[in-house]
């Protein structure tokens, strides 16, 4: 039986929110090196790969790998109930996940039912992307907000000269141009020009948990799934998102 202690439940909540924004239920793999999850969203269009290493925790006592199926929305709401100066103790109590907020002479213990899930993690796809663009989380989110005004999809394009986005709406259009060297873009590296179109709702869910001042890494390949990576509170998260095949 494992016992994990988080020094600040808020931090753990931020990390878990990178999962909850995309999937409702999933199986955490609590292993020797840390807590992981790989799961497709319900529509099978997007995938999240999450890993929080054991040194992100105050205590991490996991004698053998445990698989814990949880409702992430419930988990996130419970984690959100933390107050200042509390540690969070996570353990298993029969078929429930036990979450105890501990302070001096005071304990609040939530018991969350574990969900039976089919065994085995999803496998991460292997894609050789042709372009990598690094930018601040906040800037990427603002770009998505621009696009949402106009349409439900956005086309990203990476070239030697810069990073571009195209949004074709019903009447209104939007074109974004970030030249190499623009403040928004910290790095562009392009092996081959790449262009693909993605659903905005998924992109918004994917980057919602990214820190505004943290870095987002976007991997592009023409008409192939996008990969987006970022770190949140010591956890590493990667997402894959299927492109819409443009007919034009």
Q: Dihedrals φ, ψ of 121, to 5°?
A: -80, 155
214 in contact with its own copies (CB under 8 A):
no
Taking the complex as a whole, how short is the minimal distance between the CB of residue 143 and its own copies, in angstroms?
8
Residue from 128, 181, 213, 248 touching its own copies (CB under 8 A): that is 181
Instruction: Kindly tell me which of 16 and 56 has the beta carbon lying closer to its own copies.
Output: 16
152 in contact with its own copies (CB under 8 A):
no
Count of residues in contact with its own copies, rule CB under 8 A: 37
32 in contact with its own copies (CB under 8 A):
no
CB-CB contact of 189 with 134 (8 Å): no
d(CA 205, CA 203): 5
Taking the complex as a whole, how short is the minimal distance between the CB of residue 232 and its own copies, in angstroms?
23
Residue from 156, 178, 202, 230 touching its own copies (CB under 8 A): that is 178
d(CA 141, CA 139): 5
Element (H, E) at 63: none
2 in contact with its own copies (CB under 8 A):
no
Instruction: Kindly tell me which of 56 and 144 has the beta carbon lying closer to its own copies.
Output: 144
110 in contact with its own copies (CB under 8 A):
yes
Residue from 173, 187, 212, 246 touching its own copies (CB under 8 A): that is 173
Taking the complex as a whole, how short is the minimal distance between the CB of residue 34 and its own copies, in angstroms?
25
**Subset of 37-96 contacting its own copies (CB under 8 A):** 74, 77-78, 81, 83, 96
Instruction: Kindly tell me which of 35 and 188 has the beta carbon lying closer to its own copies.
Output: 188
248 in contact with its own copies (CB under 8 A):
no
- Give start and end residues of each alpha helix (H) in the chain: 9-20, 72-79, 137-148, 200-207
Exposure string (b/e) for 148-175, b if CB count within 10 Å is 16 or more? bebbebbbbbbeeebbbbbbbeeeeebe
Please name the residue that has the structure tokens 């590296």. Answer: 189
4: Cβ contacts below 8 Å, ≥ 6 apart = 30, 35, 57, 59, 60, 61, 62, 89, 90, 91
Instruction: Kindly tell me which of 162 and 243 has the beta carbon lying closer to its own copies.
Output: 162
Instruction: Kindly tell me which of 41 and 166 has the beta carbon lying closer to its own copies.
Output: 166
241: Cβ contacts below 8 Å, ≥ 6 apart = 45, 46, 47, 198, 199, 202, 203, 206, 225, 226, 228
174 in contact with its own copies (CB under 8 A):
yes
- The binding site for its own copies (CB under 8 A) comprises 74, 77-78, 81, 83, 96, 103-113, 142, 145-146, 149-150, 162, 171-184
């Amino acid at each position: 039986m494992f016992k994990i202690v988080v020094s600040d439940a808020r931090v753990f909540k931020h990390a878990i929110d990178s999962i909850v924004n995309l999937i409702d239920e999933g199986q955490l793999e609590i292993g020797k090196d840390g807590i992981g999850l790989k799961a497709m969203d319900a529509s099978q269009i997007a995938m999240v790969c999450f890993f929080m290493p054991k040194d992100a925790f105050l205590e991490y006592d996991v004698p053998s790998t445990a698989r814990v199926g949880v409702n992430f929305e419930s988990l996130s709401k419970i984690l959100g109930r933390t107050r200042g100066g509390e540690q969070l103790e996570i353990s298993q109590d029969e078929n429930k996940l036990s979450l105890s907020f501990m302070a001096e002479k005071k304990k609040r213990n939530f018991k969350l039912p574990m969900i039976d899930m089919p065994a085995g993690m999803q496998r991460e796809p292997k894609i050789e992307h042709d372009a990598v663009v690094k930018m601040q989380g906040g800037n990427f989110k603002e770009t998505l907000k621009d696009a949402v005004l106009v349409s439900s999809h956005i086309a990203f394009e990476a070239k030697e000269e810069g990073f571009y986005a195209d949004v074709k709406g019903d009447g209104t259009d939007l074109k974004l141009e970030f030249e190499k060297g623009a403040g928004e873009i910290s790095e562009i590296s392009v092996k081959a020009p790449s262009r693909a179109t993605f659903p905005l709702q998924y992109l918004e869910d994917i980057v919602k948990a990214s820190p505004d001042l943290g870095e987002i890494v976007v991997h592009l390949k023409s008409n192939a799934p996008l990969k987006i990576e970022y770190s949140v509170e010591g956890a590493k998260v990667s997402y894959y998102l299927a492109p819409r095949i443009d007919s034009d």
